[in-house]
C-alpha cells in the first residue's frame, strides 16, 4: 500500500475502534468520571497516543490531515477520550518533538508512545487563563536544578499524568519544564461538578518546592512561551478544531436518526419542513467546518506560512458550529434532548467547552480580525 493508503487504513481502523470500544461506553465513562486504564492501554497499542509522532520515535507518522481525521473519529465517540489525545499527543508530545533535545526525545517519547507514561499540559492557573503570559507559577535556578512553586487549574489528565509540561516564570522569562510526578512535592486534586469533560481526569495541581533537573527544561530558559507554549497551543487548537467537527457530526447523526424514528402529528419528525431546515443547516455547517479543517491540515502538511492562522479560523468556526448544531439536536429531540439517556444532552455540554479551551472564541475573533485587517486592506 502507498503511504496514503496506509494512513487511510489507520483512520478506518480508528473509526471501527471508536464504534466498538468507546462510543457504547461514553456515558459510563462520564458517570464514573474516568477514562478506563484498559482503554488507554488499548489506544496505546493501536498507536493512537502517538499517531502524529514520526515513526522514528515509535509513532504512526500520520500527516496532519489524517491525524485530524483520526481525532475526529475519537472525538465523535467521546470528547473526554479525544481530550486525552489532545493533551498527551498534540500539546505535550508535539512540543517535545519540535523543541526537545535528542536526549529528551529518546527518554520520553517512547514512554508516551507505549502509554507507560501519560503527559499533561500545565499552563492555566486559578487566576490566569487566557492571559497565559502572566503565569504566577515560578521557577528559580539552584545549581544544576530548578525549583518550581505554584498552582495550576483545569488541567486535563492532571489526576493520572506521570509527566507535567509546566509553564512557569522566572528571572529570564517564561520557561517550560517537563516535571515528573515522582519528583515529589506535587499534589493533584480532582475537580468535581464540571459542566463537561467529567471523564477527562481534570485536576488542580500544586507544586511546592519541586526540584527539577536542568535537563528537563524544554527549549531555552526564557523562551518557553515564544516557542514551546505557542507550538503546543497551535497543535492543541488543531486537534480541538477536529474535535468540534467530531461533536457536530455526532450530533447530526443523532438528530437525523431520531427524526426518522420519532413521529409527531401522525408523521415522522423529518417530514416536517422546519425540521428539514434544521437538518439542512446542520449538514451545511458540518461540511463547511470539515472543509476548513482539511484545508488547515493540508497547509500544515505543506508548511504553508498561513497554516497557524488557518488553524485558528478552523478552531473558531468548528467550536461555534458544534454549539449551534448540538443546540438544534437537543431541540429536535424535545424533552428527550434534556435527558442523559440520549447522547445529545452530553454533546450539548461538551460543545460549550470548545468555545473556551485553547483560547476563547472572543480571543480567536480578535486574532482573526487582526489578520483580516492586514490581509484584506486595499490600498
What's the pLDDT tens digit per position in 48-78? 999 999 999 999 999 999 999 999 999 999 9
The answer to whether 214 and 147 have CB atoms below 8 angstroms apart is: no
Note whether 329 and 235 are same-domain residues.
yes
Q: What CATH number did the domain enclosing 272 receive? A: 1.20.140.10
The three cell numbers locating residue 94 = 508535539
Mind listing the pLDDT tens digit for each residue in 77-122? 999 999 999 999 999 999 999 999 999 999 999 999 999 999 999 9
| Residue of 255, 101, 251 whose CA lies nearest to 178 | 101
Q: What is the pTM of this model?
A: 0.95
Task: Give the Cβ contact number of residue 334 at 10 Å.
Answer: 13
Q: What residue spans of 2-121 are helical by DSSP H?
A: 3-17, 26-32, 37-46, 64-77, 79-85, 94-99, 102-114
Q: How many CB atoms lie within 10 A of CB 133?
A: 12
Overall number of domains in the chain: 3
- Quote the percentage of the chain above a pLDDT of 70: 99
277 shares a domain with 213:
no
198 and 304 co-located in one domain? no
Please determine, for residue 350, whether its predicted confidence score (pLDDT) is greater than 50.
yes
Nearest Cα neighbor of 32 from 70, 71, 78, 75 is 78
Cell 535528542 maps to which residue?
A: 102
Do 167 and 107 fall into the same domain?
no
* 19 close to 61: Cβ distance less than 8 angstroms: no
Rounded to the nearest angstrom, the gap between the alpha carbon of residue 341 and the centroid of all alpha carbons in its chain is 25
Averaged pLDDT for residues 303-315? 98
pLDDT tens-digit map of 147-192: 999 999 999 999 999 999 999 999 999 999 999 999 999 999 999 9
Q: Does 111 share its domain with 131?
A: no
pLDDT band for position 2 (cuts 50, 70, 90): low
The reply to whether 49 and 155 lie within a common domain is no
Catalytic site residue from 106, 211, 358, 366: 358
What cell was used for 285? 455547517
Read off the C-alpha cell for 305. Answer: 506560512
Active-site residue flag, 73: no
Distance separating alpha carbons of residues 319 and 286, to the nearest angstrom? 11
With the CA atoms of 267, 273, 279 and 280 taken in that order, what torsion angle do they form, in degrees rounded to the nearest 10?
140
Distances (CA, A) of 240 to 56, 63, 154, 181: 26, 16, 16, 26
Burial of 281 (0-12, 13-18, 19+ CB in 10 A): middle
Supply the pLDDT for residue 314.
Answer: 98
**What separation in angstroms does the CA of 125 have from each of 95, 129, 138, 150, 348?**
20, 6, 12, 9, 26
Residue 130 pLDDT > 80: no
Domain boundary among 98, 118, 138: 118
What CATH number did the domain enclosing 140 receive?
2.40.110.10
DSSP state of 93: I
Task: Estimate to the nearest angstrom the gap between the alpha carbon of 337 and the chain centroid.
Answer: 25
**What's the Cα-to-Cα distance from 314 to each of 152, 292, 293, 302, 321, rounded to whole Å?**
28, 5, 6, 17, 11
**What value does the mean pLDDT of the chain take?**
96
Domain that holds residue 17: 3-118
Grid cell listed for 137: 507559577
pLDDT at 84: 98
Based on the fold, state whether residues 208 and 238 are members of the same structural domain: no
Amino acid at each position: 500500500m502507498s503511504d496514503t493508503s496506509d494512513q487511510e487504513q489507520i483512520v478506518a481502523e480508528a473509526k471501527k475502534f471508536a464504534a466498538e470500544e468507546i462510543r457504547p461506553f461514553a456515558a459510563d465513562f462520564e458517570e464514573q468520571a474516568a477514562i478506563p486504564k484498559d482503554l488507554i492501554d488499548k489506544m496505546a497499542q493501536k498507536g493512537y497516543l502517538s499517531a502524529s509522532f514520526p515513526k522514528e520515535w515509535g509513532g504512526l507518522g500520520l500527516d496532519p490531515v489524517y491525524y485530524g481525521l483520526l481525532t475526529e473519529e475519537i472525538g465523535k465517540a467521546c470528547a473526554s477520550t479525544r481530550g486525552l489525545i489532545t493533551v498527551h499527543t498534540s500539546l505535550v508530545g508535539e512540543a517535545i518533538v519540535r523543541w526537545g533535545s535528542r536526549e529528551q526525545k529518546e527518554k520520553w517519547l517512547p514512554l508516551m508512545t507505549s502509554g507507560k507514561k501519560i503527559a499533561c499540559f500545565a499552563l492555566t492557573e486559578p487566576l490566569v487563563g487566557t492571559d497565559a503570559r502572566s503565569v504566577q507559577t515560578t521557577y528559580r535556578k539552584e545549581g544544576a536544578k530548578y525549583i518550581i512553586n505554584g498552582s495550576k487549574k483545569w488541567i486535563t489528565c492532571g489526576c493520572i499524568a506521570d509527566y507535567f509540561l509546566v509553564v512557569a516564570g522566572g528571572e529570564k522569562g517564561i520557561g517550560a519544564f517537563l516535571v515528573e510526578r515522582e519528583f515529589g512535592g506535587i499534589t493533584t486534586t480532582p475537580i468535581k461538578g464540571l459542566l463537561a469533560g467529567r471523564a477527562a481526569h481534570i485536576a488542580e495541581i500544586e507544586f511546592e518546592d519541586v526540584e527539577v533537573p536542568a535537563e528537563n527544561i524544554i527549549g531555552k530558559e526564557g523562551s518557553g512561551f515564544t516557542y514551546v507554549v505557542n507550538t503546543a497551543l497551535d497543535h492543541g487548537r488543531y486537534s480541538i478544531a477536529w474535535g468540534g467537527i467530531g461533536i457536530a457530526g455526532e450530533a447530526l447523526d443523532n438528530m437525523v436518526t431520531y427524526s426518522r424514528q420519532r413521529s409527531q402529528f401522525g408523521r415522522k419528525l423529518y417530514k416536517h419542513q422546519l425540521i428539514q431546515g434544521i437538518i439542512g443547516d446542520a449538514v451545511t455547517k458540518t461540511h463547511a467546518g470539515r472543509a476548513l479543517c482539511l484545508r488547515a491540515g493540508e497547509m500544515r502538511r505543506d508548511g504553508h506560512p498561513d497554516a497557524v492562522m488557518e488553524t485558528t479560523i478552523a478552531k473558531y468556526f468548528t467550536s461555534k458550529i458544534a454549539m449551534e448544531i448540538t443546540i438544534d439536536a437537543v431541540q429536535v429531540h424535545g424533552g428527550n434532548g434534556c435527558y442523559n439517556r440520549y447522547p445529545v444532552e452530553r454533546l450539548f455540554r461538551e460543545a460549550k467547552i470548545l468555545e473556551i479551551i485553547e483560547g476563547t472564541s472572543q480571543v480567536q475573533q480578535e486574532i482573526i480580525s487582526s489578520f483580516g485587517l492586514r490581509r484584506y486592506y486595499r490600498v
